[in-house]
Structure 1
Amino acid sequence: MSSVLSKVAVVGSGISGAACAWSLARNGVSVTLFESARGPGGRMSQRREIAEDGKELVFDHGAPYFTVSSTDVLSLVREWESKNLCAEWKESFGVFDCFSNQFSSIEQEGVSGRYVGTPAMNSICKALCHEPGVESKFGVSVGRMEWLEKDNSWLLLGIDGQSLGQFEGVVASDKNIVSPRFTNVTGRVPPLDLNLIPDLATKLQNIPAIPCFALMLGFEQPLTSIPVRGFSIMNSKVLSWAYCDSSKPGRSSSSELWILHSTMEYAEKVIAEYGLQKPSDATLKKVAEELYQEFQSIGLSIPRPFFMKAHRCSS
């Protein structure tokens, strides 16, 4: 592989970008990874919050878990397990129907096939981004990507216009670098001009954007009225998924931590009203209260949490 491409840029440090960078480096390619956030993870990122009493709370507010559907990926997961980077989440899961107010399809504990990073979802990405041969640059946003015909390479520029380097190849793990939504959020044109790659433009149009709000909750006592540790929610226009984050392997918390995910329909409604820019504190407080009220309304005797905060985890 190194005889074909020797210097590659990877944009985005979610699980796909991090795994790509790691795989390229293992095959002798010099990789520079760019991530606009302070650390790796993407949808598998982690948030640290401080409660009013000063207690630190840690939430996996994005993807709650991942599954394995191929033998190649399973071999990777086994390698990560051997390094204590992930573990199977052996809890019971189910489905809650808001029409009948009942749980159904409750899985037997220990047979879920759901995996999580340990001690946090972003542990895998952190490890992959620091593999030999991968130079990771966090807090660096790619503002423009230009093809230099005479050099047969890509020039990457930061949002300030300064050069980030020239690369023989670029891997973009984030659709936003070509999406009009990038302009709606940042006020700038997308980094990559799709006129340069019309075939790719057609394919990208078929990739949906799925917005979601997450609500992080902290409870003093276990929610004993809920018979499972995670469940999808049917027939709700507000909530799609709820899970006990502190029940994951490798977590240490004296409190019970839950995360709720909104439906796409609800998130789109909020975005239509307030826009794609970073939500204000007032907007997030309103979202938090609406998600919590829906959680309470399903009739499971949910107490008032000591900590509650909403976050837009994708747009």
Structure 2
Amino acid sequence: MSSTAFKVAVLGGGTRGPGGRMSQRREKTEDGKELHFDHGAPFFSVSNPEVVRLVHEWESRGLVAEWKEKFGSFDFQTLKFDSIEQEGLSKRFVGVPGMNSICKALCNESGVESKFGVGIGRVEWLDDEKLWSLIGVDGQNLGQFKGLVASDKNIVSTRVAEVTGRVPPLDLKLLPELSEKLHNLPVRPCFAVMLAFAEPLSTIPVKGFSIKNSKVLSWAYCDSSKPGRSTTSERWVLHSTAEYAENIIAQTGLKKPSDITLNKVAEELFQEFQSTGANVSQPFFKKAHRWGSAFPAASIAQEEKCLWDRNKRLAICGDFCVSPNVEGAIDSGLAAALRLRDISSSCL
């Protein structure tokens, strides 16, 4: 890359691979079977014309496909499934062969250099050079960049200190005009439980359902029913309510949960799943994962779609800017890209 190139650093939330809530979890059973789960966002829908166009392009490349199954809801008061849709009534898209396929493809675009397993300890603005400098958690200099995009709200969140013991990488004092919006962003925690069954759960009339009148479960879906997935076992993912997750975190704190805590959560969510009366058999695999701060509870830039500091060429984007879903994240990312593209043409 020449010295005149407009190098931009894009900071995401995950260190092991691309995707965030669109990542795919790979697990191994005791006897060596490999299982895959979309344990964050189960699917996404789109309505914004610009995002629809982009999704259709991804669909033509085989990166996404429509998940054409029946969905509904379950009421714990009546112990009945209701609101069952007809197949394919609403368009729900999934990544193929995993939800992370879109993010993986973006990482492989021309001119993109991806690095994983790298933690950012500090982000510094060099006023004399008008450049951003990235310092790793190990003190290593990770380079200097003309622009910076942060797609993870934790780059400025004080929750980072509670989890890791380190201060957030980006000091809000550098962003006086944006700091009020970014300070203490509200989030909804969630626990996900991944289940694998030897036989299909044939008594459940839908492949995904929201749950009413439960303090434990909010959502359940058959991950293996998505297009492009292995069907050697039937895999389900359960999501807890925010209330349940908050209660667990209040007892255990924000640090990485212990195996004892995760096993307790997995058992409690599974028992609630069994309480639907759908004749749920015992799974041969069961594991919980905590999403501590991944689900935003506010939209802080619905009009602008991203936070932008033109002088420092900094864009902060994500679903917490527009709407707390995949379409919101895409819409916000497009807005950030447009601002950087416009300013980069005047800098080169």
Q: TM > 0.5 between the two?
A: yes
Deviations 1:110-157 (Å, cap 9, x if unpaired)? 122110000111011000011001111111111111111101111111
Task: Tell me, yes or no, if structure 1 residue 95 matches structure 2 residue 73.
Answer: yes
Measured after TM superposition, the shift of residue 199 of structure 1 is 2.4
For residue 316 of structure 2, what is the aligned residue in structure 1?
none
1:110 to 78, 82, 88: 88
Contact 1:242 1:259 in 2 (8 A): yes
CA distance in 2, matches of 1:119, 1:236: 32
Deviations 1:195-237 (Å, cap 9, x if unpaired)? 1112222222474212111000011111111100000111111
Contact 2:157 2:185 in 1 (8 A): no
Contact 1:5 1:169 in 2 (8 A): no
Map 1:190-209; keep pairs closer than 5 Å: 190-205=168-183, 207-209=185-187
Contact 1:156 1:165 in 2 (8 A): yes
Contact 1:96 1:103 in 2 (8 A): yes
The 3 A distance-change label for structure 1 pair 240 and 196 is same
| TM-score, with length taken from structure 2 | 0.81
Contact 2:157 2:184 in 1 (8 A): no
What CA RMSD, in Å, does the superposition of the two structures yield over aligned residues? 1.5
Task: Tell me, yes or no, if structure 1 residue 10 matches structure 2 residue 10.
Answer: yes
Contact 1:91 1:112 in 2 (8 A): no
Pairs aligned (count): 290
Classify the secondary structure of the residue corresponding to 1:171: strand
Map 1:116-155; keep pairs closer than 5 Å: 116-155=94-133
Contact 2:70 2:206 in 1 (8 A): yes
The 3 A distance-change label for structure 1 pair 131 and 270 is same
The 3 A distance-change label for structure 1 pair 97 and 5 is farther
Measured after TM superposition, the shift of residue 36 of structure 1 is 4.7
**Which amino acid in the other structure matches residue 114 of structure 2?**
S
Task: Tell me, yes or no, if structure 1 residue 234 matches structure 2 residue 212.
Answer: yes
Task: Tell me, yes or no, if structure 1 residue 301 matches structure 2 residue 274.
Answer: no
- Identify unmatched segments of 5+ residues in structure 1: 13-34
Measured after TM superposition, the shift of residue 5 of structure 1 is 8.3
For residue 259 of structure 2, what is the aligned residue in structure 1?
281
| TM-score, with length taken from structure 1 | 0.89
CA distance in 2, matches of 1:75, 1:210: 30
Task: Tell me, yes or no, if structure 1 residue 260 matches structure 2 residue 238.
Answer: yes
Classify the secondary structure of the residue corresponding to 1:313: strand
CA distance in 2, matches of 1:212, 1:222: 26
The 3 A distance-change label for structure 1 pair 39 and 219 is same
The 3 A distance-change label for structure 1 pair 300 and 201 is same
Task: Tell me, yes or no, if structure 1 residue 60 matches structure 2 residue 50.
Answer: no
For residue 219 of structure 1, what is the aligned residue in structure 2?
197
Measured after TM superposition, the shift of residue 259 of structure 1 is 0.3
Classify the secondary structure of the residue corresponding to 1:94: strand
CA distance in 1, matches of 2:30, 2:134: 43
Q: Which moved more, 1:268-277 or 1:202-211?
A: 202-211
**Which amino acid in the other structure matches residue 206 of structure 2?**
V
Q: Sequence identity, in percent?
A: 68
Q: Which moved more, 1:78-87 or 1:294-303?
A: 294-303
CA distance in 2, matches of 1:228, 1:198: 49
CA distance in 1, matches of 2:70, 2:292: 27
